Structure 1
Amino acid sequence: MALWGFDLWQWLALLQHELLLFAGVFFLIGALDDLAIDFTWVWLKLTGRAKTREVDRDALRCRELHGAAAIFIPAWSEAEVIGDTIDYTLGVWPQSNLRLYVGCYRNDPATIAAVMRAAQGDERLRIVIHDREGPTTKADCLNRLYDAMRDDERRMGGHFASVIFQDAEDMVDPAGLGLLDEAIEEGADFAQLPVEPMQQARSRWLGSHYCEEFAEAHAKAMVVRGELGAGLPGAGVGCAVSRGALRKLCRKRADGHPFSSGSLTEDYELGLGVSEAGGVCRFVRARGKDGLLIATRAYFPSKLGHVVRQKTRWVHGIALQGWDRVGWSSGFVETWMRARDRRGPLAALVLVIGYSLLALTAISWLAIALGFAEPVALSPLLKWLLIANFAAFIWRAAFRFGFNAREYGAAEGLMAVLRIPVSNVISIMAGRRAVAAYWKTLLGKAIEWDKTPHTAHPARTAAAERAL
């Protein structure tokens, strides 16, 4: 079959060549971006600026806080895990000048009941019932907790020194509160601890794929951002903000709240907002004398639909909403970091083209083997482009193995490499879904808390004993 002087296989070869050139160029641009971060991190390690501190975990756990600390935990439909979170948090953080604020919704009686069962007369716990039907957004729930804290401050006649943010499914580190309080006392306005997803034996391919993402991001990318002076995006858990910095954020908003109720990623905007207001941001990375990382731990989603939903919220909030809400920066480093944060939809498109190329290549090889087509010679430029991309992939796989093996062992490091295609497919699905969701908001659809369900808590299992 011929069309305009070309047969089907020639058209297929032409399409393959053009897609190969497009994907090869953009893959290489992304690889160079990552290499710049890698080389900066290596330089920081060689000069000692990226050294992970060794600390006394027991001393930090019992550290007397330099000022009262408020912990915010927003909770919508979290009856399965919120009780464990409260019990564990109040158990491993014994400080008397700690207040734990748990935000519930009036139409979520199961979560309210679970929080009340976990209270057990501990005066440090505050149950805050939202006066609106849930779910609204996580940012809106946090604003309600902020109002409750301000009411307490008026009654006490004083102010909290810091606010710590956690999620309903978190297992906090016993030394985490002391480390965050130390950072705030030393002058930080925003401090972020690493996040360490827990391995999931029943979900090695989906639930455990978060391990390598956070192991590399919170051992390399966040370290580089902090040392280069860029704003640090909050992870939403294991992060603390000084009371003064939070007050500055409130003054910038007409409603007097720290967060925009329409934001999907208020945690990401939090760190950047503190930095833009002139605050000092620190990524606090330390290990105990046993070598264990001081981090917030949790089980992440393990079902495909839940994983894609969570990644969709991240891409939508950071890459798409962030463009509108946070904007750009005049500084080179900050602009570079925000461009990295927002490359998700473009990366998803390039990945789609890449996997389409694999399918076209397989079809072409089959056609050549059956004698329907002739091999197409690649230009020298295209050959070198492919070689460069292959070398970049090997480099990336080696880094992914190394960072994951450091925290979880060599076997999990190998699994991290094998899971690269899984991560790519999830990125494609989340990118498509995020663009569709963003388009609906532009057409007027209200933003809701599209959260993922949690049924397992690390504190219930032997994993807690192994981790801590």
Structure 2
Amino acid sequence: MDAEALLPLAPQLHWLSLLERELFLFAAFWLVLGALDELAVDLAWLWLRATGRIPTRRADPPPPRLSGHTAVFVAAWDEAAILATTLTQVSLAWPQPELRLFVGVYRNDPATFAAACRGAAHDPRIRIVVHDRPGPTTKADCLNGLYRALEREETRHGLVFRTVILQDAEDMVHPAAIGVIDRAIGTTAMVQLPVRPALAGGTRFVSGHYADEFAESHTKGLVVRDALGLDLPAAGVGCAVERGMLRLLVAAGSEGPFAADSLTEDYELGFRIRRMGGGSRFLRLRDSNGELIATTSYFPNEIGPAARQKARWIHGIAFQGWDRLGWAGSWANRWMMLRDRRGPMAALVLGTAYLLLAIEAVLLLSGTPHADNSVWAPWLWSFATFLMLSVLWRSTWRAAFVAREYGWCEAGFAVLRIPVANVIGIMAGWRALAAYCGNLRGAALRWDKTTHAVHPAAGVRLGSPT
């Protein structure tokens, strides 16, 4: 670029160079710290695998009868498009007579109520519960309404439920999951099964990044926590809780077992159960065909809805979680809680890193020298080299986990989707911060849910394990 043409911009470019130096120091420090954090979990997973503490297990076939009465809770708001399919699929996958499905709908959502009626038409085990408040409230508030309906069912019919399973209105359940849960409850108070995002047709660069993240976190992160006996967050789907533990949660003083003033009541549930002395397990098993026993769901395939959904997760886990759960337990538990709550900081650091790349491009094109050559001292170059190697390391791990569930072709897309995931994370982090500040100023919590138009049972691509 012509140096004379840039002379009028020299002061601005000099200040831009100074800004670049500060951004580099900030981003390098936190990115290296984050890379070391991930490396520690990787090494823990490798050690546990090598010592046989996390073997690959096969599940027994689902039993024709359950050990006791089991309830499935499905909270639904604005789910007219898929709720009937969900109820039909659950009814067919889990035909055991001891099962009852409690479906929560709102009186000001007649379309969802009609869909629930269609789904329940051929299964007397389904109970439709109309919430006593207009929607949307919070999901936890709706679940508490279902819990009260379960208590009425017990009183009316003289039943004692043994297990409560949480599912979402868009879920497709695995037939063998009910057997895994039935055998585990009684030995532990809570069971969490993996979540397996379905791959949407057409472009999958947004929806597919959920598959990448869950394939890694539900193969490595939660497996490590379970093997080390650490606190386990519940995912809200494919999650089962012993009935007696729900009774204890209610006795603790709340209006129901689920935290109605939380955006991520499912995440909190696991920690509350452990703090009340209950055990929890994350169970990762495969059926006789090698398919993962998991809950399958479609996730948003557009950036806006994806950022909105993840903002709710970050708001509930990072901001509300800090306020409501604090920091408790062993150093390892606190480490995992810190990892859970890193969303806002990750958004800031990633945003800084991308801004740094843009500034570097401007300086290179203008031929402007760096403000201080000591910035590029050998030890900082070592930082940069370490970060590049960590990116390759992370990409390899993610590709391997995705290949296991979705095939090697999808693993290649997983690497290409990493920048997409970063952009969504940045948007979600800032949106979560704005929402949290709004709540501090008195704004009411609302069920900012994701819209679902297609159910995975209508054409899910399951892939093949390798």
Contact (CA 8 Å) 1:2, 1:8: kept in 2 or not?
A: no
Equivalent residue for 1:236?
236
- CA separation in 1, counterparts of 2:126 and 2:430? 41
Matched residue of 1:393: which SS? helix
Match of 2:148, as an amino acid? D
Matched residue of 2:168: which SS? coil
Matched residue of 1:208: which SS? helix
* 1:32-51 to 2 correspondences below 5 Å: 32-51=36-55
* 1:180-219 to 2 correspondences below 5 Å: 180-185=181-186, 187-219=187-219
Report whether the alignment pairs 1:29 with 2:27.
no
* 1:118-267 to 2 correspondences below 5 Å: 118-185=119-186, 187-255=187-255, 257-267=256-266
Contact (CA 8 Å) 2:193, 2:294: kept in 1 or not?
A: yes
Equivalent residue for 1:111?
112
1:438 is matched with which residue: 436, 451, 457?
A: 436
Equivalent residue for 2:418?
420
Equivalent residue for 2:20?
16
Contact (CA 8 Å) 1:41, 1:220: kept in 2 or not?
A: yes
Contact (CA 8 Å) 2:199, 2:460: kept in 1 or not?
A: no
Contact (CA 8 Å) 1:63, 1:178: kept in 2 or not?
A: no
- CA separation in 1, counterparts of 2:276 and 2:226? 16
- CA separation in 2, counterparts of 1:217 and 1:49? 17
TM-score, length-scaled by structure 2: 0.95
Equivalent residue for 2:3?
none
Match of 2:245, as an amino acid? A
- CA separation in 2, counterparts of 1:327 and 1:102? 33
Contact (CA 8 Å) 2:198, 2:460: kept in 1 or not?
A: no
Task: After TM superposition, give the deviation of residue 208 of structure 1 in Å.
Answer: 1.3
Match of 1:103, as an amino acid? G
Contact (CA 8 Å) 1:9, 1:373: kept in 2 or not?
A: no
1:387 is matched with which residue: 379, 382, 385?
A: 385
Task: After TM superposition, give the deviation of residue 420 of structure 1 in Å.
Answer: 0.5
- CA separation in 2, counterparts of 1:337 and 1:225? 8
Matched residue of 2:185: which SS? helix
Matched residue of 1:161: which SS? strand
- CA separation in 2, counterparts of 1:345 and 1:233? 19
TM-score, length-scaled by structure 1: 0.94
Contact (CA 8 Å) 1:79, 1:114: kept in 2 or not?
A: yes
Match of 1:347, as an amino acid? A
Contact (CA 8 Å) 1:200, 1:207: kept in 2 or not?
A: yes
Equivalent residue for 1:275?
274
- CA separation in 2, counterparts of 1:317 and 1:448? 12
CA pair 168-120 structure 1, distance change in 2 beyond 3 A: same
Q: What stretches of structure 1 move > 4 A for 4+ residues in a row?
A: 464-467
Q: Percent identity?
A: 50
- CA separation in 2, counterparts of 1:265 and 1:144? 17
> Alignment length, in residue pairs?
457
Task: After TM superposition, give the deviation of residue 465 of structure 1 in Å.
Answer: 10
- CA separation in 1, counterparts of 2:94 and 2:215? 25
Contact (CA 8 Å) 1:308, 1:429: kept in 2 or not?
A: yes
Q: Deviations over 1:328-376 (max 9, x none)?
A: 11411111111111110000000010001100110111111xxx54696
- CA separation in 2, counterparts of 1:9 and 1:115? 62
Equivalent residue for 1:456?
454
* 1:284-363 to 2 correspondences below 5 Å: 284-363=283-362
Task: After TM superposition, give the deviation of residue 63 of structure 1 in Å.
Answer: 4.2
- CA separation in 2, counterparts of 1:78 and 1:284? 29
- CA separation in 2, counterparts of 1:71 and 1:288? 22
RMSD of the TM alignment (CA)?
1.8
CA pair 101-466 structure 1, distance change in 2 beyond 3 A: farther
Q: Deviations over 1:271-301 (max 9, x none)?
A: 1111111111100100123211111001111
Matched residue of 1:163: which SS? strand
Match of 1:14, as an amino acid? L
- CA separation in 1, counterparts of 2:383 and 2:100? 57
Task: After TM superposition, give the deviation of residue 68 of structure 1 in Å.
Answer: 0.5
- CA separation in 1, counterparts of 2:446 and 2:77? 12
* 1:366-377 to 2 correspondences below 5 Å: 366-368=365-367, 372-373=368-369, 377=373
Task: After TM superposition, give the deviation of residue 203 of structure 1 in Å.
Answer: 3.3
- CA separation in 2, counterparts of 1:442 and 1:433? 14
Unaligned runs of 5+ in 2: 1-5
Match of 1:212, as an amino acid? D
Matched residue of 1:166: which SS? strand
CA pair 374-13 structure 1, distance change in 2 beyond 3 A: closer
Task: After TM superposition, give the deviation of residue 466 of structure 1 in Å.
Answer: 8.2
Report whether the alignment pairs 1:53 with 2:57.
yes
- CA separation in 1, counterparts of 2:379 and 2:7? 29
Contact (CA 8 Å) 2:405, 2:463: kept in 1 or not?
A: no
